[in-house]
Amino acid sequence: MRHHQSVTVLLLLMSTQGSAQQAASPEQETIQELVQQLKELQNRVKELESHQPIASSTQSAPAQMADSRPPAPEETSNTQLPFLPQELHELRGIQWRGFGEVNYKVLNQRTPELGSYGFVPGSHGNFFTGDFDLLLTSRINDKASVLAEVVIGEADAQRFEVDLGRVLFKYDYNDHLKMSFGRYHTGIGYYNTAFHNGGWLQTTADRPLIMEFADDGGPLPTQAVGVSVTGLIPSGGLGLNYLAEYGSSDTIRLDLLDGDIEDESNSNHFDLGVFARPNILPGLQVGGSIYHDQIQDSLRGGVKIGQSILNAHVVYLGHGIEFLNEGFLIRHAYEQSSTVFNMPAFYSQVSKRFGRVRPFLRYQYINANPGGFLEDIGLRHGPSFGARYDFDDNIGFKAQFDHTLRRDLPDLNGLHLQLAFTF
Amino acid sequence: MQTRLAIAIAAVWIAGNATVPAALSQTSDIAVVVNEKNPVKNLSSQEVRNIFAGDRRSWPGGLPIKLFVRAPDAHERAVLLKLLGMSESDYKNYWTAKIFRGEVQSEPIALFSNGMQKEAIKAYPGAVALVNMQDVKPGMKMVKVEGHLPGEEGYPFN
């Protein structure tokens, strides 16, 4: 086939030489000889091809390249039609995809802290599996599909719990109206809907604390059951999209310091968001959202709190660069009193790929009021830095160092190693 | 081996001594092709990018877009990656993430030849693919990009 390619290239080149050859240069004789040689080679190639079996869909890449020449009509009808139905049939049935990780984490103190993901509170360091994630998708018809994300997470003492992270019936009417019904990750922030439970997709070994899942100590209602609608807003080059969600989140939080379980008993929520992906800079996304529901402080007699969460984000992904920035304002207004807590939080993460290595730096900040519903979080801020090394497109290794400053508590240093994979 | 060497030397020699006509220099243009019944006639470069990035998934009127791309190493694949500003590895990870977010069910079907792309375009009303303009055959409809057809001055994809 390589002969054939070379011959084709040479013929193309020579076919353009008509006018030049009319000048009868001294090299004409040489060219004539080469043309003769080419004709002989062509005949040999034809002879060889006539002995080859019909091409199959499992050809190697070089063979595929060679087939980029214009196929003769009879070639198309004789060799391609038989395998097209297998190649191009609609993807029916259930498609599976998996994500897994193995972690080692070490802290510089024994004080219980972030006893989640299987990390044993009170230990200097231990291994744990984190989340094992199975993603199932199935197309029902051209517009309807089903998605489910089953997460098997490690709890304390190597107990494993199964969580239905997402189960969605999706109906995409068109680009302007895409509906999802079921359990979803709320559009409360960019990170929540970009990475879900897939640790392999993340550059860092863990999520920013403000975007951590509630059952791992995160402060926000990251999961809910209800309806989510999104789509494009006709806006030309601005690339505006909207997001509207209505549902029940019923968040159960893990207290970071003592491991208590706090059931927020959330009322139904709404979440409205808008974001732009301007044509002028592919990879840029700028947007924000507002979320509102009512929660109950189960540790303080079930007092009701109006919870509003504002988000703004600026994200750029392109040319090997990842630049994530999100800011939040969590507002808790206590009913039957004038107590209002405004708790700001943000994280900023930047990374750049250099071949297989992607060094990263993240800084995060969260300031929860003492005496408030999230007082176990308190004030925490500090950098995380490290690198991700991709062995190939499916296996990555991450090494991350965290330094966290805490109000009224000693600084916390941690090293987190993670082998993440997808299959 | 000697024959191959002779051909290679001859090709280099001819290429070095010839004046390639302007028309030939445009034959590497990559056409955006759709099913003959698709009414779309013209797209902007950004629209083409959005389509092949999976960000736009339906044609005007609601017909779902069905993406077909060439397998790695084909020229059309190189043009696709250039259009998206991605490496082969980036491309794979990009679609993995898109599947995980539930935005698509699978990454675009990669085909091994333009002949297969032709059959796919004919078979699916919402199909779209990138095809070397020399390989565009009856049954495929070329779409203008920024008002230009492949081979015309100002056509952006080659």
- Using 50, 70 and 90 to split pLDDT, how confident is the model at A85? very low
A94: in domain:
no
B15: in domain:
no
CA distance A390 to chain B (A): 10
Q: Are residues A44 and A160 in the same domain?
A: no
CATH of the domain at A305: 2.40.160.10
Q: Are residues A35 and A130 in the same domain?
A: no
Cα distance between residue B24 and residue A16, in whole Å = 8
Residue of A nearest to B18 (CA): A17
B5: in domain:
no
Q: Is the dihedral of CA A151, A154, A158, A160 positive or negative?
A: negative
A14 has a chain B CB within 8 A of its CB: yes
B101 has a chain A CB within 8 A of its CB: yes
CA distance A273 to chain B (A): 17
Count CB atoms within 10 A of the CB of residue B46.
Answer: 17
Domain end residue (candidates: A31, A66, A88): A88
A135 has a chain B CB within 8 A of its CB: yes
Q: Are residues A18 and A53 in the same domain?
A: yes
Q: Are residues A9 and A132 in the same domain?
A: no
Q: Are residues A216 and A352 in the same domain?
A: yes
A95: in domain:
no
Cα distance between residue A149 and residue A145, in whole Å = 14
Helices (H) then strands (E): counts for chain B:
6, 6
Q: Are residues A16 and A80 in the same domain?
A: yes
Residue range A97-153, pLDDT digits in tens:
899 999 998 888 766 565 566 666 667 788 888 889 999 999 888 889 999 999 998
Q: Are residues A83 and A104 in the same domain?
A: no
B129: in domain:
yes
Residue range A367-423, pLDDT digits in tens:
998 888 888 888 999 999 999 999 998 999 999 999 999 888 888 888 999 999 999
Q: What percent of chain B has pLDDT over 70?
A: 83
CA distance B57 to chain A (A): 6
Max Cα-Cα span within chain B: 59
Domain end residue (candidates: A59, A88, A117): A88
Q: Can you name the residues that pair with A184 across neighbouring β-strands?
A: A224
Q: Give the mutation candidate from B82, B84, B100, B133 for the A interface (greatest A CB count, under 10 A).
A: B100
Backbone angles phi, psi at B155, to 5 degrees: -70, 130
CATH of the domain at B131: 3.40.190.10
Q: Are residues A137 and A41 in the same domain?
A: no
SS3 B50: helix
Say if the Cβ atoms of B73 and A196 lie within 8 Å.
no
B75 has a chain A CB within 8 A of its CB: yes
Domain end residue (candidates: A88, A111, A146): A88
Q: Are residues A153 and A253 in the same domain?
A: yes
- Residue A249 domain boundaries: 100-422
- Residue B82 domain boundaries: 28-145
Q: What is the pLDDT of residue A10?
A: 47
Closest CA to A218 of A209, A226, A229, A205: A209
Q: Give the mutation candidate from A57, A175, A392 for the B interface (greatest B CB count, under 10 A).
A: A175
Structure tokens at A421: 């994979």
Q: How large is the ipTM?
A: 0.73
**What letter would DSSP give residue B29?**
-
Q: How many structural domains compose chain B?
A: 1
Q: Are residues A74 and A125 in the same domain?
A: no
B12 has a chain A CB within 8 A of its CB: no
B9 has a chain A CB within 8 A of its CB: no
A193 has a chain B CB within 8 A of its CB: yes
Contacts of A56 in chain B (CB under 8 A): none
CA distance B87 to chain A (A): 9
> What are the C-alpha distances in Å from A263 to residues A298, B24, B45?
6, 71, 51
SS3 B126: coil
Q: What is the pLDDT of residue A66?
A: 34
- Using CB atoms, which residue from B56, B134, B135 is nearest to A175? B56
Q: Are residues A283 and A387 in the same domain?
A: yes
- For the entire predicted model, the pTM comes to 0.75
> Which long-range CB contacts under 8 A does A394-400 form with residues at least 24 apart?
A394/A421, A394/A422, A394/A423, A395/A419, A395/A420, A395/A421, A396/A200, A396/A420, A396/A421, A398/A203, A398/A204, A398/A205, A399/A205, A400/A204, A400/A205, A400/A206, A400/A360
Q: How many structural domains compose chain A?
A: 2
- Using 50, 70 and 90 to split pLDDT, how confident is the model at B87? confident
- Using CB atoms, which residue from A168, A277, A393 is nearest to B102? A168
Q: Are residues A70 and A108 in the same domain?
A: no
